[in-house]
Structure 1
């Protein structure tokens, strides 16, 4: 990563409660999973898992060796994927990364519409997991290579998909506003 980026900054502090972590993150580039792995290694030190579309995992098969597991939308196997994700979230040694919008979107997107999968997974888990939001942003400033910013927030609200979506959108908006005020 150091070859491709000028710097990495983690913003926000998260109290590690020793629980399994469901990390909800924007998906703006191929780098998102790698960046989240970096954050996990720096802060949480959990066994890393991430969900990705089955067709993408087939193209990038090596991700299955780094914690990647597949989901196939609009198929019967989607139930198995939700059950597997909930099973991962029953072990405090695990961190599961989900991209709520389901596919890569522009970094300049200002509203995320969550797929229903998060709700289905939360229905299968107990209340003893920690939900963490991450917003990845980049800026070049005066550098030839981009600076990567990983913004974190511990979600403590209701376990309702509409509330989680609203809270993530509010968090992301705050991250964009804070990023716009940065100078070199």
Structure 2
């Protein structure tokens, strides 16, 4: 049996404001290259996965970019079941469990799709499945998304963000978000999605820093 989210809306709002204040103190700049957000849709937000900070940065992006264009009514993250069992408070912040290699995986994927049936709900995903370097140029996606999206019955927008961190002249790092609209669940094609994300990611890399062939 999976551990389902029991999100407390006011707690999410307070946490979002505190997180925004903290990250703006911790990082020099948080630069968002935005994207159009479709009204009346749920959102699957996908990001590259390379650091401990990834979840915090994604929450900042949701609160300070996406929420301003369409109200986020629910914020959800799929988390390993062992982490949920060690930190049961996570469910109040929108986390729900997944246990790879067990019979409950399909239940977790179906639950994710169920959440995305509701307009205004947002699900955060890391398609790589594992931590990889911030500097990888090819995003290799696991097939979890390919099982979730076809089960969504409502209208869901897919958004990708290539996130990078830079120091340049400062002692404090800056975070740069490069967003891409990836269509909706109604025109979803897993291979096409992967190709679009990789093309965008490589372009974002070139924009982000001086590019040299290797």
TM over 0.5: yes
CA contact (8 A) 1:17 1:130 kept: no
Q: TM-score, normalised by structure 2?
A: 0.78
Q: Which protein shows a greater Rg?
A: 2
* Distance change >3 Å, CA 57–CA 109, structure 1 → 2: farther
CA contact (8 A) 1:24 1:100 kept: yes
1:118-152: CA deviation from partner (whole Å, max 9, x where unpaired) = 00001211362101011111100000010001111
Q: CA RMSD in A?
A: 1.9
Q: Which runs of 5+ in 2 are unaligned?
A: 1-22
Alignment of 1:154-173 (within 5 A): 154-156=181-183, 158-173=187-202
How far off is 1:161 after superposition? 1.2
Q: Distance in 2 between matches of 1:91 and 1:127?
A: 7
* Distance change >3 Å, CA 62–CA 109, structure 1 → 2: farther
Q: TM-score, normalised by structure 1?
A: 0.90
1:58-90: CA deviation from partner (whole Å, max 9, x where unpaired) = 455543332222211111110110111001100
1:4 matched residue in structure 2:
26
Higher relative contact order (CA 8 A, sep 6+): 1
Count residues in correspondence: 182
Matched, 1:54 2:81: yes
CA contact (8 A) 2:50 2:133 kept: yes
Q: Distance in 2 between matches of 1:56 and 1:102?
A: 15
Q: Higher helix proportion, which one? A: 2
